[in-house]
Amino acid sequence: MLTTPAMAKASKRRRKTRTPNVNHRPPVIASKLKVTEIDLTPGKEHLVCPDCSTWVPITGMLGTPKLVPHHTGRAKTAEPRRCTAGSNRQVTIDVQADALRTRLIEGAPTAASRRATKVLSKPQVKPAPAASQVKPAPLSAEQIHQALRQHQQQCLACRGEVKNRGGQTLPCPDGERLAVTFLRLHRQEPKRKAVREFFARERRRFDRQYAEAAAAKRASEWAAVLPKVKDADTRRSQVPVGARPIEACGVPVAPGNEEAFDQRQAELGRRYAASTAAV
């Protein structure tokens, strides 16, 4: 029969391997396989062969389901190897395709939650100091005054806009606490200032005493080692019998520019006095 372009062409049918041979081994039970090892989508029935772990089509779904003859993982190679143990093996379909698909969908989130998450480097955080090492910052009257003004601008009770059921204005405990703290610090400010000035004077006096004691100690230490130094210089100046050693360069014992040296020392003294006065 001739086929013309106007005639309808039959669609290509999907080929399946059909053979009357049946494997005499016990059938494969579908319910005993894992959800990821079987697919019962109509027209695409596949499962993983228990013998060679290869996805194999299932034929004879309307009669006696069985695995088609197949090769192992070396299929379509120069040396294909036939799976004789799993070919033509019967399959017992005791599960529904919808139930199997539902189990697969429900197991997907569980499998995703078991995957290892990305490891993030933990930032290095300095340990918090102990309670005995925490030094509270001293409060000043000016800081409390600023906090009180900011609170009064935001608090309705401090502005007299909050009333009880009887129409009486309710006080603000936070505002009262800040006000009492400000008055206490304001009264104590002269005494605190005197204490700060006293400690500053004591610090400057201690620095002066330390500088004087250091100079006197340095002088006494030099006086203690002076005989040994003179003895070493005397023995060094004696020339032994034999070849005379080559004279080395002398070590300067006085500054080359005495005026610049004195100016430098005076500048360092003024800087030290200014730093101690600031403390």
Measured CA to CA, the distance from residue 269 to residue 274 in angstroms comes to 9
- pLDDT at 76 > cutoff 70: no
Task: Compute CA distances 68 → 12, 54, 56, 91, 161, whole Å.
Answer: 21, 12, 7, 11, 88
Can you tell me which residue has the tokens 């290892």? 116
Q: How many CB atoms lie within 10 A of CB 159?
A: 13
In the prediction, which pLDDT does 14 show? 56
pLDDT tens sequence across 109-161: 665 566 666 777 888 888 888 888 887 777 788 888 888 888 888 888 877 77
Provide the pLDDT for residue 193. 86
Given a contact cutoff of 8 angstroms between Cβ atoms, the answer to whether 48 and 60 are in contact is no
Residues 158-188 pLDDT 10s:
777 777 777 787 788 888 888 888 888 888 8
Q: Where are the strands (E) in the chain, listed by range?
A: 28-29, 38-39, 46-48, 55-59, 66-67, 91-92
Q: Which residue has the higher pLDDT, 48 or 9?
A: 48
Q: What is the pTM of this model?
A: 0.35
Average pLDDT, the chain: 79
Q: How far apart are CA 139 and CA 196, in angstroms?
A: 14
pLDDT of 250 higher than 70: no
